[in-house]
């Protein structure tokens, strides 16, 4: 077991913690943040007004209209607003897309390069202070140094990561997630479970600590997700889900090695089809990945499925448990129903390896996945 865990993000957590924004902002010495928001929900539900009231002693500028699956153009537009207004920090107020866009805006405003360069070999070195205030429990971007952006010209979705992209602090106030639409909330459940499960399923190494963390996080979602579906204002359940979301990406799973095949394949899918949400893309391939993994290491998958409360004997049964769980919280849609064209499955498999393949052109999983393996998973998910 070898790992480095250094998470410098100050987590300010709890119902009502939004009120701590002014004091926390003063403590890091910012004067004029760029407030980055999505397509208007924080305006309609009053959360933006609450933030502006809390920031009444600060100057600020606002960047609106960040798209789901944020694009390079969103980032460049945000950078221009940042520089034109002489901002000195960013506050992301929204879901994962907003947080990711804000991170890259702060980076390119500081360093001046094209955002897409950072998805290749260029390493982020310095960024303006980043603050995140998630309104959706899903991506864990509030606690990690990663941002994912889309390039509509190349049909690719790639990540940017570097220590400077850790937020200075994140305010995780579960109350802010109450007004999020239910479909996005449920997509978030899938994303959280997959974050906690990727390296559980993709490694042969048992790691008692991390396996326990996975079990806890997945159970938190399984138990609290349905409560939120039944009552969207259940603040206790919202709080558990918010904690699960943040902790899944905080770094406490770093002690376990392993790949992230579902995210790699999903990024290739929604890179090509930006209208497919991250959670829907993951949900479509999750059962097939579990089946593929179970065909190679049934003991590990049996152990995993126990978290969902089932004993299974075969990979097919394991896959059914996952599919049934998804059906229970969300209308399950295969890739066909999500609008993916059959002839694009080859392209998606190719793109997955281009984006996340290793030197041997394989994707890290319980056994390395080549082109045909990925295609096989995509066909089972169709
Ligand atoms: Fe994710």
Residues 276 and 338 in one domain: yes
Cα-to-centroid distance, 288 and ligand 1 (Å): 17
- Asked if residue 188 and residue 172 are part of one domain, the reply reads no
Number of helices (H), then strands (E), belonging to the chain: the values are 14, 8
Cα 214 to ligand 1 centre (Å): 15
Q: What does the alpha-carbon distance between residue 228 and residue 300 come to, in Å, rounded to a whole number?
A: 30
Instruction: Kindly state whether residues 205 and 134 are assigned to the same domain.
Output: no
Judge whether 75 and 149 are in contact, CB under 8 Å. Answer: yes
Do 348 and 210 share a structural domain?
yes
Query: Is residue 1 domain-resident?
Result: no
Q: How many whole angstroms from 99 Cα to the centroid of ligand 1?
A: 13
What's the 222 CA to ligand 1 centre distance in angstroms?
A: 17
The answer on 188 and 159 residing in a single domain is no
Instruction: List the shell of residues around ion ligand 1, using CB closer than 5 Å.
Output: 191
Domain shared by 199 and 101, yes or no: no
Q: Are 46 and 192 members of one domain?
A: no
In this structure, what CATH number is given to the domain that contains residue 140? 3.40.50.1970
- Tell me: do 148 and 189 sit in the same domain: no
**Is residue 222 within 8 Å of 308, Cβ to Cβ?**
yes
The number of domains in the chain is: 2
The sheet with strand 33-36 has its strands ordered as: 10-13, 169-172, 130-134, 89-94, 33-36, 61-63
What are the pLDDT tens digits along the chain (382 aa)? 889 999 999 999 999 999 999 999 999 999 999 999 999 999 999 999 999 999 999 999 999 999 988 999 999 999 999 999 999 999 999 999 999 999 999 999 999 999 999 998 899 999 999 999 999 999 999 999 999 999 999 989 999 999 999 999 999 999 999 999 999 999 999 999 999 999 999 998 889 999 999 999 999 999 999 999 999 999 999 999 999 999 999 999 999 999 999 999 999 999 999 899 999 999 999 999 999 999 999 999 999 999 999 999 999 999 999 999 999 998 899 999 999 999 999 999 999 999 999 999 999 999 999 999 999 999 999 9
Distance 297 CA to ligand 1 centre (A): 24
Q: Of 177, 203, 235, which residue is a domain's last?
A: 177
Chain-centroid distance of CA 230 in Å reads: 24
Q: Two tokens at 339?
A: 């609008």
The pTM for the full model equals 0.96
Quick check: is 5 in a domain? no
Cα(188) to centroid(ligand 1), Å: 8
Domain end marker among 124, 156, 177: 177
In a domain, 141, yes or no: yes
What is the DSSP track for 33-88? Answer: EEEE--SSHHHHTSHHHHHHHHTTTS--EEE--PPSS-BHHHHHHHHHHHHHTT--
* Centroid of ligand 1 to alpha carbon of 349 (angstroms): 19
Q: Please tell me the distance from the alpha carbon of residue 357 to that of residue 373, in angstroms, as a whole number.
A: 13
Q: Examine residue 124 and state whether it is found in any structural domain, yes or no.
A: yes
Check whether residue 123 and residue 229 sit in a common domain.
Answer: no
Q: How far apart are CA 88 and CA 310, in angstroms?
A: 51
Q: Looking at the domain assignment, is residue 361 inside a domain?
A: yes
For position 68, what pLDDT does the model report? Answer: 87
Q: Are residue 123 and residue 264 in the same domain, yes or no? A: no
Domain that holds residue 371: 182-380
């Amino acid at each position: 077991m070898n790992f480095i865990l250094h998470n410098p993000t100050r987590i300010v957590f709890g119902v009502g913690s939004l009120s701590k924004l002014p004091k926390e902002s003063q403590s890091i010495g910012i004067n004029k943040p760029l407030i980055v928001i999505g397509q208007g929900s924080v305006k309609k539900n009053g959360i933006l007004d609450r933030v502006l009231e809390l920031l009444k002693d600060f100057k600020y500028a606002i960047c609106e209209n960040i798209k789901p699956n944020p694009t390079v153009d969103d980032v460049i537009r945000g950078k221009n607003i940042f520089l034109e207004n002489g901002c000195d920090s960013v506050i992301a107020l929204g879901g994962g897309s907003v947080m990711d866009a804000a991170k890259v805006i702060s980076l390119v405003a500081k360093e001046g390069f094209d955002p897409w360069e950072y998805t290749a070999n260029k390493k982020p070195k310095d960024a303006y202070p980043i603050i995140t205030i998630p309104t959706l429990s899903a991506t864990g971007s509030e606690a990690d140094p990663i941002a994912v952006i889309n390039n509509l010209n190349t049909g690719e979705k790639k990540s940017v990561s570097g220590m400077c992209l850790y937020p200075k602090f994140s305010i995780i106030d579960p109350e802010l997630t109450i007004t999020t639409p239910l479909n996005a909330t449920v997509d978030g459940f899938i994303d959280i479970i997959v974050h906690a499960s990727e390296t559980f399923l993709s490694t042969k190494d048992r790691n008692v600590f991390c396996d326990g963390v996975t079990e806890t996080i997945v159970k938190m979602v399984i138990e609290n997700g349905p409560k939120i579906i039944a009552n969207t204002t259940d603040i206790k359940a919202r709080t558990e889900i918010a904690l699960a979301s943040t902790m899944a990406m905080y770094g406490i799973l770093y002690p376990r090695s392993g790949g992230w095949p579902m995210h790699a394949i999903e990024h290739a899918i929604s890179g090509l089809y930006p209208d497919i949400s991250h959670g829907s893309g993951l949900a479509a391939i999750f059962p097939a990945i579990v089946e593929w993994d179970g065909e190679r290491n049934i003991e590990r998958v049996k152990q995993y499925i126990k978290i969902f409360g089932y004993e299974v004997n075969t990979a097919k049964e394991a896959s059914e448990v996952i599919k049934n769980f998804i059906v229970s919280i969300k209308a399950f849609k295969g890739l066909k129903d999500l609008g993916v064209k059959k002839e694009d499955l080859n392209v998606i498999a190719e793109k997955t390896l281009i984006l996340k393949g290793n030197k041997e052109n394989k994707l890290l999983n319980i056994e390395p996945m080549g082109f045909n393996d990925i295609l096989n998973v995509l066909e089972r998910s169709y």
